[in-house]
Amino acid sequence: MYAVDFTQASIVFGIKGKTLTADEEALFRDANPAGYILFSRNLETPSQVKKLTERLRELTENNEVLIMIDQEGGRVQRLRPPHWREYPPMSVFGERAEENIDEAVACVYLNYRLISLDLRALGINVNCAPVLDLPVKGSHRIIGDRAFSNNPQTAAKLGHAACDGLLAGGVLPVIKHIPGHGRATADSHVELPRIDTPLHKLREKDFIPFKALCDMPAAMTAHIVYTEIDAGAPCSASSTVIKETIRTEIGFKGLLFSDDVCMRALQGPVNARVASVLGAGCDIALHCDGNYRDMVAIAKSCPQITRAAIKRLNTAKRLIRDSDKFDAQAAKDRISAFLGNY
């Protein structure tokens, strides 16, 4: 049982390099963030990454601190050869699912079980995956082949298999980008997308995979304006979208992360962005670029985690466990046989 810890701040920080600076160590010790997120700039060799995650735990009052990464496969995987396996984009599984959905489900499970093996060996316990977004014709490629399929039922089945594979290996999945990024015609890293699709169409398609996986332990919001729900604010900073759509209509009860507040879809000073997403109902904000001065500003004003959020956080943490015995080579062989030369 994890003890309730109200001293943690409602923030996940990125770091600048492959080792921590003295200033970063002092800040993290004082701020006691809910977690950290790693990017390619932080990763060099298995031994280096392991030392880094061990040090992050030493600096944090809660040694089960969240250490996160985006390891989806395809274009978005921070761990890459020569030290780590190259994983296919998720659209490949979706394409094969049209011929054999049962084997696609089995192989997605094994694929993410392999990913969990990589992550646990490095001390990483949270994967910001899978993507449940449904791309449509004419939408921006920022989602593209990261998605399993544009069929909501297929995306739901394969997404559930991905979550099961991660959980079986002791890694928390974070489904994204709730309530759906697939229709966006702009990249939220660069600008704020607006989706004008009627609400009934979003309900008929985009929300379906998220509703099917509403019992998952964690999700990440989209920095998108859904004009039919709240024309005045992006989802991450909209209490209407979070409370009425994500929490009530979709029924998601787990831990809710904002997407990265450094993205240009959001406006204003970073500490104000953090305040806006937390005020709207996100449990924890992500600040990913490792800018030390910005992290200091955030730490000065970031609230401690709420009672409701800490309950969801501790529920999620209980799923982090030692991974089960697993035949990795058999899994690789089965996936290769199914996908062929994708």
Confidence band, pLDDT 50/70/90 cuts, at residue 279: very high
CA distances from 184 to 1, 37, 273, 328 (A): 41, 25, 21, 37
Residue 282 within a domain: yes
Strands (E) in the chain, as ranges, are 9-14, 33-38, 66-69, 71-73, 76-77, 126-127, 172-173, 175-178, 194-195, 218-221, 225-226, 255-260, 284-287
Confidence check: pLDDT of 6 > 60: no
Is residue 1 in a domain?
Answer: no
Q: Which residues contact 35 (CB under 8 A, 6 or more apart)?
A: 12, 13, 65, 66, 67, 68, 126, 284
pLDDT digits (tens, 9 = 90+) for 9-44: 999 999 999 999 999 999 999 999 999 999 999 999
Taking a C-beta distance cutoff of 8 angstroms, is the pair 128, 69 a contact? Answer: yes
Report whether pLDDT(311) > 70.
yes
Q: Is residue 4 one of the residues assigned to a domain?
A: no
For residue 3, being part of any structural domain is answered with no
Contact between 34 and 9 under an 8 Å Cβ cutoff? The reply is yes
Assess whether pLDDT exceeds 70 at residue 324: no
2 within domain boundaries = no
Phi, psi for 115 (deg, rounded to 5): -60, -45
Task: Check: CB of residue 141 under 8 Å from CB of residue 89.
Answer: no
Roughly what angle, to the nearest 10 degrees, separates helices 22-31 and 292-301?
Answer: 20
Rounded CA separation 288/301 (Å): 17
Q: Comparing 148-157, 205-214, 309-318, which segment has the lowest mean pLDDT?
A: 309-318
Assign residue 283 a region: left if phi > 0, alpha if psi is -120 to 50, beta otherwise?
alpha
Give yes or no for residue 159 having a pLDDT over 90: yes
Give the residue numbers annotated as catalytic, written as ranges: 189, 259
Q: What is the pLDDT of residues 211-232, one digit of tens each?
A: 999 999 999 999 999 999 999 9
Number of separate domains in the chain: 1
How buried is residue 85: exposed, middle or buried, by Cβ count under 10 Å (0-12/13-18/19+)? middle
- pLDDT tens-digit profile of 61-90? 666 799 999 999 999 999 999 999 999 999
170 — phi, psi (to 5°)? 80, 25
Q: How confident is the model over 99-142, as pLDDT tens digits?
A: 999 999 999 999 999 999 999 999 999 999 999 999 999 999 99
pLDDT of the residue at 317: 83
**180-201 average pLDDT score:** 93
pLDDT digit string, tens, across residues 140-157: 999 999 999 999 999 999
Confidence of residue 323 (pLDDT cuts 50, 70, 90): low
Task: Give the CATH number of the domain where residue 70 resides.
Answer: 3.20.20.300
Task: Tell me how far apart the alpha carbons of residues 123 and 43 are, in angstroms, rounded to a whole number.
Answer: 13
User: Does residue 148 sit within a domain?
Assistant: yes
Full residue range of the structural domain in which residue 86 is found: 9-339
Q: Is residue 110 part of a domain?
A: yes
Q: Is-cis flag, bond preceding 130, omega within 30?
A: yes
Mean pLDDT of the chain: 94
